[in-house]
Structure 1
Amino acid sequence: MEKLDSIIFYNIDKAIRSYRNYAQRQLKANGYTITIDQWLIIKAVLENPDITQNEIGDLVFKDNASVTRIIELLVKSEYIIRTPHPDDRRKTHLEVTESGKEIIQKVQDLVENNRKTALENVTKEELEIMNTALLKISQNCINLKK
């Protein structure tokens, strides 16, 4: 029987979880109260002004209930403004506030340093091969939905 650490998907998940835990610890250690998920959602709204909550969930790999809960926290923290959608009452329009833009900017250097630390001793060639392989895996699984 194969061992866990020889299973590629186990190692991918372990790497992602290790990185997220490290990144969250770095945020806390630097005095930020924002979470990785909150940062991702603010960034998603900032980069996609007309994005829906369902689309946010797809983009950041979260279910609708989690996205709704995180957005509620972001509204309370005044990082995002939520208003009724002008054309569809079932939807809401999300807009990043000035303080939301500021937190994204402030955290950006930390995010870049986190990535640099996580990718230490990984060559450019290894990154390119890994990225290509991960994209192929994703595409294979997406194609299976059909």
Structure 2
Amino acid sequence: MEKLDSIIFYNIDKAIRAYRNYAQRQLKINGFTITIDQWLIIKAILENPEITQNEIGNLVFKDNASVTRIIELLVKSEYVIRTVHSTDRRKTNLEVTALGIKIIKDVQKIVEQNRAIALDGISKEELQIMNNALLKISENTINSKK
């Protein structure tokens, strides 16, 4: 019987969880109250100005209820403004505020340090191979007809 640490998907999940926990601790240690998920959603809005909440959820791998909760916190923290869409009242427009842009810029240095620490000792070639393999796994499972 195979051991957990020999299962590639277990190791992928373990690495992701370890990195997210580390990254969140580093934000807290450096005096930031923003969460990794909040940071991701602000980035998603900045990079995709007309993005819907459903699209945000797909982009950051969160369900609609989680995205709604996080956006509520971002609005309360004044990082994001939510307004009713001009032609479709069922939709909302999300806009990152100056304060939201500032927090993204302030956190960026820590994000880069976190990545450097996590990737220490891994060559560019190893990263490329790993990235290609992960993309292939995604392709295989997203496009699977079975």
- Is TM (by shorter chain) over 0.5? yes
Unaligned runs of 5+ in 2: none
2:15 aligned residue: 15
The match for 2:47 is: 47
Pairwise CA distance, 1:145: 5.4
The residue number in structure 2 matching 1:31 is 31
Q: CA offsets per residue over residues 49-105 of structure 1, 9 Å max, x none?
A: 000000000000000000000000000000000000112111100000000000000
Q: How many residues align?
A: 146
* 1:89 and 2:89 aligned: yes
Instruction: Note the alpha carbon deviations across 1:31-61, whole angstroms, 9 max, x for none.
Output: 0000000000001001100000000000000
Q: Distance in 1 between matches of 2:103 and 2:145?
A: 37
| Rounded Cα–Cα distance in structure 2 between residues aligned with 1:2 and 1:85 | 53
CA distance in 1, matches of 2:89, 2:73: 22
Q: What is the aligned partner in structure 2 of residue 61 from structure 1?
A: 61
Q: Distance in 1 between matches of 2:87 and 2:59?
A: 23
CA distance in 2, matches of 1:104, 1:86: 28
* Structure 1 counterpart of 2:91, one-letter code: K
RMSD: 0.9
User: Identity over aligned residues, as a percent?
Assistant: 79
Question: Match of 1:144, SS?
Answer: coil
